[in-house]
Amino acid sequence: MRAPSIDLLDPAYDADIHTAHRRARERSWYATTPMGIIVLRHAEVLGVLRDRRWREQGRDALESVGITSGPLWEWLGQIMATQEGEDHARLRRLVSQAFTPRQVERLRPMMRRTAHALLDAVIGDAGCEFVSAFAAPYPVHVIGELIGVPATDLDRFHGWCSDLSLAFGPGIASERERIESALGDLSDYVDALLAERRHVPGPDLTSALIEVEEQGDRLSAAELRAMVTVLIFGGQDTTQCQLACAISAFLDSPEQWRLLAERPALAASAAEEVLRYEPAGSGAPRVATEDLVVNGLEIPGGTVALPSGPAANRDPAVYPDPDRLDITRQHAEPQLTFGGGAHYCLGASLARAELQEALPILAGRLGEIGSAGPIEWRRRALIRGPVHLPLAFAGGPA
Ligand code: HEM
């Protein structure tokens, strides 16, 4: 039987990825695409993510457009997501000593304060554009506090990160100058921050990363800079998109929104369920490092596979009635929005905490919500979500 095919570049796919995944997943564990294969079922997605014979794509996207030197090339070669094997494990061990559950827990009160302050600014208006009013600024404030950046600098580094995100979309070559200029500014900023924290340490993650040491091994100056830029960058766009994905999901399930407003104690399972149901990440592509056989399928070395979180998360073999948002659902298996295996998202517990704090406050204070215009989604991107989400709300009692 021929495998189904999905054209990941077709606007019709972007407009409704879940239907395309469902149709293909019913027939097969994978589908062919113009870029390689997309893996669709939970067991096989987890299998690819955990199998070290698949590597991250690294700098392949740059190479494919002829970029093999320069600041962007160097940076992408240094960050954790492009390292493999012992190099990656070493970085991960060192960073995990600093990026601890305590770093996340210390931020929860400021997450709540930030959510309330952002809502105070719009609550009297009965409506807002949700992305600019809440989804974008909320994670910027949180990352600022995590890293130890003064609130007055937040706008600047949000702009650099937006430009840097172009490095992960289809316009790398055409936008190279803009991306590299943003990367230069961000790196200079991070260098100054590191110099300051070496002098006067604080409770923030930057200070903790400087202090990290394991059996005489420390992060080098270049590694520290790459790590802090990646945390600043990796923690904004993703959480912004996930918050907007969550609201779009609740717009279609108003009874679940009401339930969350009535029972804020459901925050943790609600966060987990929106991550499952409408993930901000399409998955992190992998490349086969050798010839492989998966479920009888011969896969030549060099094949690109997209282990799809969104498709795995709606696999009926794991989640009964998967196309229904149910914030009381107990997941028997982990949802795969944060990937898996050695590269499992480093910031997953921070992102979870951000959703757990924000969602019940939003449900309580916004009250009934409705769409106030067409939702515009980001197209052809690995980090997906609404970029424009006009929202009407009644205002709640909280
Ligand atoms: C809802 C929000 C988020 C989503 C959907 C998300 C998703 C992902 C995904 C899919 C991966 C790749 C996993 C793999 O290759 O198997 C990843 C890796 C990573 N994420 Fe996140 N992420 C989020 C938030 C964050 C935050 C808040 C931070 C940091 C503050 C962060 C930092 C990272 C880093 C450093 C990696 C690379 C880990 C490694 O290669 O070992 N992410 N994330």
Q: Whose CA is nearest to atom 7 of ligand 1?
A: 338
Asked whether 282 lines ligand 1 (CB < 6 A), one says no
Quote the CA–CA distance of 131 and 239 in Å, as a whole number.
11
Asked whether 235 lines ligand 1 (CB < 6 A), one says yes
| CATH architecture observed for domain 11-393 | Orthogonal Bundle (1.10)
Asked whether 345 lines ligand 1 (CB < 6 A), one says yes
Quote the CA–CA distance of 270 and 191 in Å, as a whole number.
38
Token couple for 320:
């009964």
Confirm if 21 and 308 have CB atoms less than 8 A apart: yes
Listed residue (282, 283, 314) closest to 379, CA to CA: 282
Asked whether 25 lines ligand 1 (CB < 6 A), one says no
Asked whether 294 lines ligand 1 (CB < 6 A), one says no
Quote the CA–CA distance of 357 and 189 in Å, as a whole number.
29
Amino acid at 124: G
Asked whether 107 lines ligand 1 (CB < 6 A), one says no
Q: Whose CA is nearest to atom 42 of ligand 1?
A: 347
Q: Whose CA is nearest to atom 37 of ligand 1?
A: 81
Does residue 391 come out as left (phi exceeding 0), alpha (psi in the -120 to 50 range) or beta? beta
Q: How far is the CA of 142 from the centre of ligand 1 (A)?
A: 15
Q: How far is the CA of 237 from the centre of ligand 1 (A)?
A: 11
Calculate the alpha carbon distances from 365 to 117, 138, 295 in Å.
12, 16, 49
| pLDDT score, position 380 | 76
Asked whether 123 lines ligand 1 (CB < 6 A), one says no
| pLDDT score, position 398 | 56
Q: How far is the CA of 341 from the centre of ligand 1 (A)?
A: 12
Atom number of ligand 1 nearest to Cα 340: 16
The residue assigned the tokens 């009644």 is: 394
Confirm if 242 and 345 have CB atoms less than 8 A apart: no
Where are the chain's structural domains? 11-393
By most ligand atoms within 8 Å of CB, the mutation choice from 338, 349, 354, 382 for ligand 1 is: 338
By most ligand atoms within 8 Å of CB, the mutation choice from 87, 149, 345 for ligand 1 is: 345
| pLDDT score, position 381 | 79
Asked whether 386 lines ligand 1 (CB < 6 A), one says no
Q: How far is the CA of 338 from the centre of ligand 1 (A)?
A: 6
Asked whether 352 lines ligand 1 (CB < 6 A), one says no
pLDDT tens track, the chain, 398 positions: 789 999 988 889 988 999 999 999 999 999 999 989 999 999 999 999 999 999 999 899 899 889 999 999 999 999 999 999 999 999 999 999 999 999 999 999 999 999 999 999 999 999 999 999 999 999 999 999 999 998 888 888 888 888 888 887 777 888 999 999 999 999 999 999 999 999 999 999 999 999 998 778 899 999 999 999 999 888 998 999 999 999 999 999 999 999 999 999 999 999 999 999 999 999 999 999 999 999 999 999 999 999 999 999 999 999 999 999 999 999 888 999 999 999 999 999 999 999 999 999 999 999 999 999 999 998 877 889 999 999 999 998 75
Asked whether 268 lines ligand 1 (CB < 6 A), one says no
Amino acid at 328: T
Quote the CA–CA distance of 279 and 382 in Å, as a whole number.
11
Asked whether 49 lines ligand 1 (CB < 6 A), one says yes
